[in-house]
Chain A
Amino acid sequence: MFLLSAAFWSIVRVFIAYCLSLLFGILYGILSATEPRRERWMIPFLDVLQSVPILGFFPIAVTILVVIFRGQRIGLELAAIFLIITSQLWNIAFGVYETIKTFPKDLLEMTRSFGMNTTFIIEHIYLPALVPTIIYNSGVSIAVGWYFLMASEIITLGNVEVRLPGLGTAMMGYVTQGNLFGTLSVIGIIVLVNFITQWFIFRPLIEWSDLFKFGAVGSAPEEPKLVTILRNGIPWHKVSGWINRMVQWGGRFQKSPVFLRILNYLISIVFASLFGYFLYWMMKPPYPHIVGEIPKSLFITSFRVIGAVFLSVVLSFPFVVKATKTASNVKNIYVFAAILGSIPAVIFYPLIVRGLGREHMELAAIILLLTGSFWYTLFNMLKGALMLPTTLVEMAHIFGIHGWVYYKTILIPAMLPSLITGAITAWGGAWNTSMVAEKVTFGQESFSIPGIGSLLLASTAHAKDLLWVVLIMTLWIVVVNTFFWKKWYRYSSEKYTFTE
C-alpha cells in the first residue's frame, strides 16, 4: 500500500541518519575530551553549531546537493539525511564529552596502575561508561530526527521539482486534497511508530543502562535480548582499536611542530582567500533588494520566538509544581511527556493551518512555535525539580513554607539553571519551527505571515538572497546565544547550584 512504502522510506532515512550521528557523535566526543588542545577549539565550535537553526540551512544544503547531483533524487535524500544528522549529532557528542570529562578519577588511576593501554581502556572502560548517555540521548535524538524529517518533507522550496516519498510528503498531499482520512492515517502511523520505538526499544534500554551508573545501589537490572544480540554481534575489539587509531592520529600531528605550523599557515591562507572571495561576491552590487527586508523580518520573528519561550515556561510551571508534590507524579509526567514529545508536532501544522484558515495564521504560528518549544522547557524544568534535594522539601514542609513564598524563595531559584537550559533549547526549537511555521504551501495556494522564516523560503530561488538571509539570521542567533543566554546560564549555575 502507498502509505506503507512512504512509512518505509521515512523510517529508513531516520535510521541511517541516526547510525551516522551515533558514529560521528561518539568520535567527536571522545576526540574532544581526551586532549586539552583539541578540546579548546572543538567544544566552542560544537557550541556555535548547536545554536545554528538547522532548518535555516536546509534550503542551502538542498540547493548545493541538488546542483551536485543534477536534480536527481539522491541529492534530496542526502540533504534530508544531512539535516537529520545535524539535529542529532550535537546532543550525542556533548553527552559523550561530559561523561568522559567527569569520569571518576580514581577509576582512571586504577586502570593505569594495572597497566591498561588506550585501546583496552576504550573497549572495557569508556565504551561501557558511555552506555547511559548514548541510550538516553538516542531516545531524544530519534524523536528529534523524526521532527526534522517531517519538517524537511513539508517544506517546499522554490526551485525543486522532486519531492521525496515519505510520510510528510504523503500528508501534505492529503491535506491539499482535503482527504481527512488520509491525513489522520499518516498522523496515526507516525504516532504508532514513535510509540513502539520509545516504549519497546528505549524504555527497556534505559532501565538496563542503570547498570553502568556510578554509585548506584541495589539489585542489577537484567540484560534485554536486544543488548545480547548487539554485544555478541559487533566486534568491539576492532571498534575500539579503530577509535584508538583516530585518537592517536590526531595526536601524531601535534608531535612535529614544523609540519604543523606550515599546515596551519596553508590552511589559514586557503580559508582566508576563500572567505575574502565569498565576502566580495556577497557585497558586490547589485544588492539583492531582499536585504532591506531582513531587519524587519528578523525583529518580527524574534518577537514571536520570545513570546513562545515565555509562554512555554509559564505553561510548564503548573506541571512542575504538580510533579514536585509526589515522586511518583514526576515519573508519570515524564513518561507521558516523553511519548507525546516524540510525536513530531510539525505534522499537525498543515492540518491546523488549513482548519483555521488564512486569517488565523498568526495564531496557528504561535501554536506551532509552542509545540516546538514547550517540550524543551517542560523536560528541563522537570529535571530541575527532580534534582531538588528532598531534605530541602522536607525543611520547607516542617517550617510551613507554602505557596508563593515557597515558589519564589525555594522552587524557582533551585530550578533556575535547568529553567534557563530549557529556555535556551526552547529558543533554538522555536527558531527552527519558525522556518516551517511562517509559510506553508499546499499545491498552488500558500499561506504566509511576515517573518524571517517566510522570507527565507521566499528567497530560495536566488542563491545570493538565500545566503544573505541565512547568514544574518544565524549571526543574530549566535550573538544572542553567546552574549545573553550563556551569561544568564553562567550566573544562575554559579549562584544557584547545590554544593556541600
Chain B
Amino acid sequence: MSLLALKSITKAYIEKGKYLPVIDEINLTIEEGEFVVVVGPSGSGKSTVIRIAAGLVAPTQGTILYKGEPISSPNPNASIVFQNFALLPWLTVQENIELVLEVRNIPPRQRIRTALKYVDLVGLDSFEDAYPRELSGGMKQRVGFARALAVEPEILFMDEPFSALDILTAADLREEFLKFWTSGKLSIKSIVMVSHNIEEAILMSDRIIVLSSRPGKVVGEIRIALPRPREPHSKEFENILDQVYSLIISSHISK
C-alpha cells in the first residue's frame, strides 16, 4: 500500500461564470522512502497539488488516500516547509518552533527541549532567542525546516523551499538537507517537493513528476537511480535533464 495516493484530483474555480480548472485529473502515488519532486512551469498548479495532498485544500473532484484512508482535513502526520518561510514575526526562533508543539499539547518543559534540539540540528544554536527580522533568508528557512521537523511528521511537503533564497545560500541548504535525508536519521518516511528548478529536482529526487500548465496535468514521470551526492555535469545527469526538457516541450507542442 502506498503512503499517499492522489486519485483523479481536479481543482477548478468558477470566476465570472467561467469554469477555470487549475489541475485536471491528476493521479499520483508516493511510496514509503521516496523523495519525489513535482516540476512544472508557473500556472501548472504545483502549489495547489501540494496543498491538496496535505489536506489543506479540498479538491473539486477526486480523493486523497493516506495509508489507505481518505483525507478531508489537514493531515496531522504531514508537515510543510513554505517558500516564504511563514514565521511569526513577534516570536523568537525557539518560540516559533514551540508554538507548533504547543498545538499538540506537548508539556512546556518537553517543548523547550524538543525546540532546542531542532534549533541545534539546523545549525542555529545561539540564535534561538533571535527574532525572524534579525535573520537572513537562509536562516529563516532553517527555522522553517526545524519547525516542520520538530513535529516529527511521517511525510514532509516542501513548497519551493529554496526559491526565495539567493543561489549560494540555496545550494548550501540543499546540500545540508540532502545529507540529513540520506543519513536516515530523520523520522520522515517520504518527501514531496514542488519546484520550478529542474536541476534542483534532478539533484535531490528519486522520481520527478512533470506537470504541464493551464490546466496542470501529469505529462510524465522519470525515475532517477543515481547515487547521491549527484554530479551536475556528469553524462547521466545531463541525460536526465534532456529527458525532462523533452517532456515539457512536447507537452507544449501538443497544445
User: Which residues of A come within 8 Å of B, CB atoms?
Assistant: 104, 106-107, 109-110, 112-116, 120, 124-125, 128, 131, 211-220
Q: In the bound complex, do residue A114 and residue B54 qualify as a contact, i.e. CB atoms below 8 Å apart?
A: no
**How far is it, in angstroms, between the C-alpha of A120 and the C-alpha of B104 when the chains are bound?**
11
CB distance from A127 to the nearest CB of B (A): 11
Q: In the bound complex, do residue B133 and residue A218 qualify as a contact, i.e. CB atoms below 8 Å apart?
A: yes
**How far is it, in angstroms, between the C-alpha of A213 and the C-alpha of B133 when the chains are bound?**
10
Q: Is B167 an interface residue (CB 8 A)?
A: no
Chain A residues lying within 8 Å of B80, measured Cβ to Cβ, are 109-110, 113
Q: Which residue of A lies closest to B84 (CB)?
A: A106
CB distance from B206 to the nearest CB of A (A): 24
User: Which residues of B come within 8 Å of A, CB atoms?
Assistant: 51, 54, 56, 74, 76, 78-80, 82-84, 86, 88-90, 99-100, 102-104, 131, 133-134, 151
Contacts A106-B84, A215-B89, A216-B133 aside, 4 further interface pairs with beta carbons under 8 A come to A113-B54, A113-B56, A113-B79, A116-B103
**How far is it, in angstroms, between the C-alpha of A137 and the C-alpha of B79 when the chains are bound?**
37
Q: In the bound complex, do residue B90 and residue A212 qualify as a contact, i.e. CB atoms below 8 Å apart?
A: yes
Q: List 9 A-B contacts (CB under 8 A).
A: A106-B86, A110-B86, A113-B74, A113-B79, A115-B103, A120-B103, A213-B89, A215-B89, A219-B133
**How far is it, in angstroms, between the C-alpha of A214 and the C-alpha of B100 when the chains are bound?**
19
CB distance from A163 to the nearest CB of B (A): 46
Q: In the bound complex, do residue A216 and residue B89 qualify as a contact, i.e. CB atoms below 8 Å apart?
A: yes
**How far is it, in angstroms, between the C-alpha of A213 and the C-alpha of B90 when the chains are bound?**
8
Q: In the bound complex, do residue B88 and residue A107 qualify as a contact, i.e. CB atoms below 8 Å apart?
A: yes
Contacts A112-B56, A113-B80, A124-B99 hold; do A219 and B89 have CB atoms under 8 A apart? no
Contacts A106-B82, A113-B56, A113-B79 hold; do A212 and B103 have CB atoms under 8 A apart? no
Chain B residues lying within 8 Å of A113, measured Cβ to Cβ, are 54, 56, 74, 78-80
Q: In the bound complex, do residue B103 and residue A220 qualify as a contact, i.e. CB atoms below 8 Å apart?
A: no
Q: Which residue of B lies closest to A120 (CB)?
A: B103
Most-contacted residue by chain A among B78, B99, B151 (CB, 10 A) = B99
**How far is it, in angstroms, between the C-alpha of A104 and the C-alpha of B74 when the chains are bound?**
19
Chain B residues lying within 8 Å of A115, measured Cβ to Cβ, are 74, 76, 103-104
Q: In the bound complex, do residue A220 and residue B134 qualify as a contact, i.e. CB atoms below 8 Å apart?
A: yes
Of B54, B90, B99, B104, which is within 8 A of A211 by CB? B90
**How far is it, in angstroms, between the C-alpha of A110 and the C-alpha of B82 when the chains are bound?**
8
Q: In the bound complex, do residue A220 and residue B99 qualify as a contact, i.e. CB atoms below 8 Å apart?
A: no
**How far is it, in angstroms, between the C-alpha of A39 and the C-alpha of B83 when the chains are bound?**
31
**How far is it, in angstroms, between the C-alpha of A104 and the C-alpha of B56 when the chains are bound?**
16
Chain B residues lying within 8 Å of A131, measured Cβ to Cβ, are 90
Chain B residues lying within 8 Å of A107, measured Cβ to Cβ, are 86, 88
**How far is it, in angstroms, between the C-alpha of A215 and the C-alpha of B86 when the chains are bound?**
11
Chain B residues lying within 8 Å of A216, measured Cβ to Cβ, are 89, 133
Chain A residues lying within 8 Å of B151, measured Cβ to Cβ, are 114
Q: In the bound complex, do residue B78 and residue A218 qualify as a contact, i.e. CB atoms below 8 Å apart?
A: no
Q: In the bound complex, do residue A114 and residue B103 qualify as a contact, i.e. CB atoms below 8 Å apart?
A: yes
Chain B residues lying within 8 Å of A114, measured Cβ to Cβ, are 74, 79, 100, 103, 151
**How far is it, in angstroms, between the C-alpha of A115 and the C-alpha of B99 when the chains are bound?**
11
Of B88, B100, B102, B104, which is within 8 A of A128 by CB? B88
Chain A residues lying within 8 Å of B83, measured Cβ to Cβ, are 106
CB distance from B148 to the nearest CB of A (A): 9
Chain A residues lying within 8 Å of B133, measured Cβ to Cβ, are 216-220
**How far is it, in angstroms, between the C-alpha of A125 and the C-alpha of B84 when the chains are bound?**
17
**How far is it, in angstroms, between the C-alpha of A125 and the C-alpha of B86 when the chains are bound?**
12
Chain B residues lying within 8 Å of A214, measured Cβ to Cβ, are 89
CB distance from B181 to the nearest CB of A (A): 20
Q: Which residue of A lies closest to B75 (CB)?
A: A113
**How far is it, in angstroms, between the C-alpha of A131 and the C-alpha of B88 when the chains are bound?**
13
Chain A residues lying within 8 Å of B134, measured Cβ to Cβ, are 218-220
Q: In the bound complex, do residue A109 and residue B56 qualify as a contact, i.e. CB atoms below 8 Å apart?
A: yes
CB distance from A306 to the nearest CB of B (A): 40
**How far is it, in angstroms, between the C-alpha of A286 and the C-alpha of B210 when the chains are bound?**
82
Chain B residues lying within 8 Å of A213, measured Cβ to Cβ, are 89
**How far is it, in angstroms, between the C-alpha of A116 and the C-alpha of B99 when the chains are bound?**
10
**How far is it, in angstroms, between the C-alpha of A116 and the C-alpha of B151 when the chains are bound?**
13
Q: Which residue of A lies closest to B144 (CB)?
A: A110
Of B56, B78, B82, B89, which is within 8 A of A212 by CB? B89
**How far is it, in angstroms, between the C-alpha of A211 and the C-alpha of B79 when the chains are bound?**
27
Contacts A106-B84, A114-B100 hold; do A211 and B74 have CB atoms under 8 A apart? no
Q: Which residue of B lies closest to A116 (CB)?
A: B103
Q: Which residue of A lies closest to B80 (CB)?
A: A113
Q: In the bound complex, do residue A109 and residue B51 qualify as a contact, i.e. CB atoms below 8 Å apart?
A: yes
Contacts A128-B88, A211-B89, A211-B131 hold; do A109 and B103 have CB atoms under 8 A apart? no
Q: Which 10 A-B pairs have the closest CB atoms?
A: A110-B86, A220-B131, A114-B100, A113-B80, A106-B86, A212-B90, A216-B133, A211-B90, A128-B90, A116-B103
Q: In the bound complex, do residue A112 and residue B74 qualify as a contact, i.e. CB atoms below 8 Å apart?
A: yes
CB distance from B138 to the nearest CB of A (A): 15
Q: Which residue of A lies closest to B76 (CB)?
A: A115
Q: Which residue of A lies closest to B89 (CB)?
A: A214
Chain B residues lying within 8 Å of A125, measured Cβ to Cβ, are 88
Q: Which residue of B lies closest to A112 (CB)?
A: B74
**How far is it, in angstroms, between the C-alpha of A219 and the C-alpha of B130 when the chains are bound?**
9
**How far is it, in angstroms, between the C-alpha of A277 and the C-alpha of B51 when the chains are bound?**
56
CB distance from A268 to the nearest CB of B (A): 31
CB distance from A218 to the nearest CB of B (A): 6
Most-contacted residue by chain B among A112, A125, A214 (CB, 10 A) = A112
Chain B residues lying within 8 Å of A116, measured Cβ to Cβ, are 103
**How far is it, in angstroms, between the C-alpha of A109 and the C-alpha of B80 when the chains are bound?**
10
Q: In the bound complex, do residue A109 and residue B99 qualify as a contact, i.e. CB atoms below 8 Å apart?
A: no
**How far is it, in angstroms, between the C-alpha of A215 and the C-alpha of B133 when the chains are bound?**
7
Q: In the bound complex, do residue B89 and residue A109 qualify as a contact, i.e. CB atoms below 8 Å apart?
A: no
Chain A residues lying within 8 Å of B51, measured Cβ to Cβ, are 109
Q: Which residue of A lies closest to B95 (CB)?
A: A124
**How far is it, in angstroms, between the C-alpha of A115 and the C-alpha of B88 when the chains are bound?**
16
Most-contacted residue by chain A among B54, B103, B151 (CB, 10 A) = B103
Most-contacted residue by chain A among B79, B83, B88 (CB, 10 A) = B88
